[in-house]
Structure 1
C-alpha cells in the first residue's frame, strides 16, 4: 500500500517536479533552464519501473508509440476552469512571470497564444485515441463528484487489484484538501520556494468546478463563448438534449458533448 501511495508523488516529465525534488533541482542549478537542460527528464529516467510520470504535453509531443508500451491516463476539464486555473499558475511561476490580469490572459487564451495550448487541439489529439485499450479518459469534474468511483475505474484500468479499504486510503491521500496541505504536492508550502513568485495564489489553489462563471465578466463570457462554445451549447440544448434544460448538470453535460462533437467532427482549436 505504501508503494501505491508513494507512486502518486513520482516525478513528472514536465515542470514542475513534486515538492522538495523540484526545489533541490532549482537550488543545485539556479542559473539553468531545466526545461532545456533535461534535469527533469534525467530525474524521471532515474526512477525504476514501474513508475508514474506526469506531463502536460499534448499527444503530438510524446513518443508516437507510447500507447504500445505504457498505460496513459488523460484528464479533461472544462475550458473555463482550465483558463482561470492556468492564469493563476502563469502568474505564480517565475519562469513565466505573467503580469497581466485575467481579462488579458483570456484574450491570449482565445487567440491560442498560451503555453501548452491550444486547448481544443490538446483534447482532440487524446480524444482520437480514446478507444485504445491503453488509454483511460477521465473528467476532472467526475473526480470531484465521486473520487472513489473514478479510482475504481483507474484500479481496473491498471489492474492493480486494490481492496476497497486500500482504495479509500488512496482517495483520502489524493483528495484535493490533502494535496493542498502537503509540501510534496503544494510547492507554495515550501519556504522561499525559488520557482514561485511571492504574493500570488498557491500552487494548489482552489480545485473548484464551474467557478469560471464567477470570475468572467459579461464581456469576457461573450468573448469566450463567441469563439464557438455558444454555438455548440445552443445546438445541444435545443436539439440533442432538450431534457437537460433547467438541469444543474446541463453545463457539464453539454461540455462533454462539445468535446465529442468538436473532436469527432474536426472543430478548430481557435473556437475555444
Structure 2
C-alpha cells in the first residue's frame, strides 16, 4: 500500500493529481527541486529506456510533469497510458507527497543550493508568466514588478529569508526539506539519490550505475554524448520543457549547467552565514554529501 502523503499546492502545481494514478511496475518517478537537474535526468532516463538519442516526440511529451496544472490531468494520464515502454515521470513534489510503491523507482537529483538558486534567479526572467497564468486559469499580474535586484543581492536575500518549506519549496528551507526527506530514504531499494556534480564529473559512470539499478541496458558512448549539457543545449527546441510556450527563450533554459557559480558570488562573511543557515535546516551528513 502507498504511504500517506502530504499535499503540495501552488498556483500552477497540485500534488493531489497523483491520487489514483495507475502505476506500472518499473515506472520511474523523477523528483527534483527546480533547476537542480530535472530535465537532465529526464533525458538520461529517455536514453536508457529508449536506447536512442532520436526521441520520437519532444522530451516533455515523453516525460510529462504530472502535477503541473497547465494540462488537464486526464490528458496526462491518457498519454502515459498509451506509452508501451517504461515510463519516466517528472515531478517537483518531494517524495512524501508522491505515492510510494515498492515496484516503482524514485530518483532525486541534488544540486548545491547556491547554484540551484542562481539558476532559479535567471530562470525567473525567462518565464512568460502571462502565458502560465493563461494556461492555469489564474489572473494575470496587474502590478508592476519593478527592477529586479542584482543576482548577488537576490542570493543573499534568498539565503536569509525565512519561509514555510512546505509552502515555498524553492526557498532554502524548502530545498533542504525536499533533500532531507530523500536522504532519510536513501537506503530504500527503490530510491536513488544522484548528485549534480557526479553527473558533471562522470556522466557515463552515473548513467551506467542507474541502468544497472533499473535493470536497463548499459549505455554506449553515443547515448552518453547525447546527455551532455552542450548536446542538450543544441537540441533545446526538442528538449526544453516548453511545448506550451511558457519560456521566452528555449536555449536560455540551458544557460550554463556548471557548478560553483553560487559560492563565487558570496564573500567569506556571506558564505559563513549560509553555512550557519543550512546547519539549522539539515543533518550534518546530508550537508557533507551535498557540499562536497
The bucket for the TM-score relative to the shorter chain is 0.5 to 0.7
Q: What does residue 59 of structure 1 align with? A: 95
Q: What does residue 128 of structure 2 align with? A: 94
Report the aligned-residue RMSD. Answer: 3.8
Moved over 6 A (4+): 96-99
Shift in Å, 1:73? 1.6
Shift in Å, 1:231? 11
User: 5+ unaligned residues in a row in structure 1: which ranges?
Assistant: 17-32, 237-252, 260-272
Q: Mark the structure with the bigger radius of gyration.
A: 1
- Residue of structure 1 aligned with 2:252, choices 171, 183, 202: 202
Shift in Å, 1:134? 0.9
Q: Which protein has the bigger helix share?
A: 1
Shift in Å, 1:61? 1.8
- Residue of structure 2 aligned with 1:47, choices 59, 66, 83: 83
Length, aligned pairs only: 216
Q: What does residue 81 of structure 1 align with? A: 115
TM-score by length of 1: 0.64
Q: Contact between 1:81 and 1:210, CA under 8 Å: does it hold in 2?
A: yes
Shift in Å, 1:186? 3.2
Q: Contact between 2:111 and 2:290, CA under 8 Å: does it hold in 1?
A: no
Q: How does 1:1-272 map to 2 (within 5 A)?
A: 3-5=50-52, 6=55, 9=59, 10-14=62-66, 34=70, 37-38=72-73, 40=76, 43-63=79-99, 65-66=100-101, 68-95=102-129, 100-101=148-149, 102=151, 103-104=153-154, 106-108=156-158, 110-112=161-163, 114-117=168-171, 118-162=174-218, 166-182=219-235, 183-186=237-240, 194-197=245-248, 202-216=252-266, 220-229=270-279, 255-256=288-289
Q: C-alpha offsets along residues 37-94 of structure 1, whole Å, 9 cap, x if unaligned?
A: 435555445434411112222112211x23x131112211111111111121223222
Q: C-alpha offsets along residues 91-132 of structure 1, whole Å, 9 cap, x if unaligned?
A: 322237986333235524542364445011000111111111
